[in-house]
Amino acid sequence: MKIQSAIAAIVLGGVLAAPAFAQTPAQTAQQQKMKTCNAQAGDKKGDERKAFMKQCLSAGGAAAPAMTQQERMKACNAQAGDKKGDERKAFMKQCLSTKS
C-alpha cells in the first residue's frame, strides 16, 4: 500500500507541476520580440541601448531607431550649410529640438 501511495503522489506531483514548465504562446512571442530587438540593438551600450530596447519592445520592434544627440548634431550641422550668426543659431535650435 505504501508503494502505491508513493507512486500516486509522484504522478500527481508531476501533473500539477507540468503547467509550470510549459511555455505559453505569450512568453514565446515576448522572447522572440526580445531576440529581434537585441539583434537590432547591435553594439549600442548603456543608456542608448536601454532607450532603444524600451522603444523597440514597446513598439513591436519594427520602428526605426531614433537618432542619437550626436547624430542629430551632425545632420543639423550639414543642413545649416553656410548660415552665420543669429540665423545659424536659430536654425540649429529649431533643428535640434525636432524629434526625428
Number of independent structural domains in the chain: 2
56 inside domain: yes
Residues 60 and 72 placed together within one structural domain of the fold: no
Q: What range does the domain containing 76 cover?
A: 68-100
Residues 59 and 72 placed together within one structural domain of the fold: no
Q: What is the pLDDT along the chain (100 residues), one digit of tens a residue?
A: 677 776 766 766 665 555 555 555 666 777 888 888 888 888 888 888 888 888 888 875 444 556 788 888 888 888 888 899 999 999 889 888 876 5
Q: Phi-psi category of 63—alpha, beta or left, where left has phi over 0 and alpha has psi -120 to 50?
A: beta
50 inside domain: yes
Block residue for cell numbers 543669429: 86
Residues 79 and 99 placed together within one structural domain of the fold: yes
Residues 74 and 95 placed together within one structural domain of the fold: yes
18 inside domain: no
46 inside domain: yes
Residue 49 makes CB contacts below 8 A (sequence gap 6+) with 41
Q: Phi-psi category of 99—alpha, beta or left, where left has phi over 0 and alpha has psi -120 to 50?
A: beta
31 inside domain: no
3 inside domain: no
The amino acid at residue 23 is Q
Cβ atoms of 50 and 61 closer than 8 Å: no
- Which pLDDT does position 65 carry in this prediction? 58
Block residue for cell numbers 522572440: 32
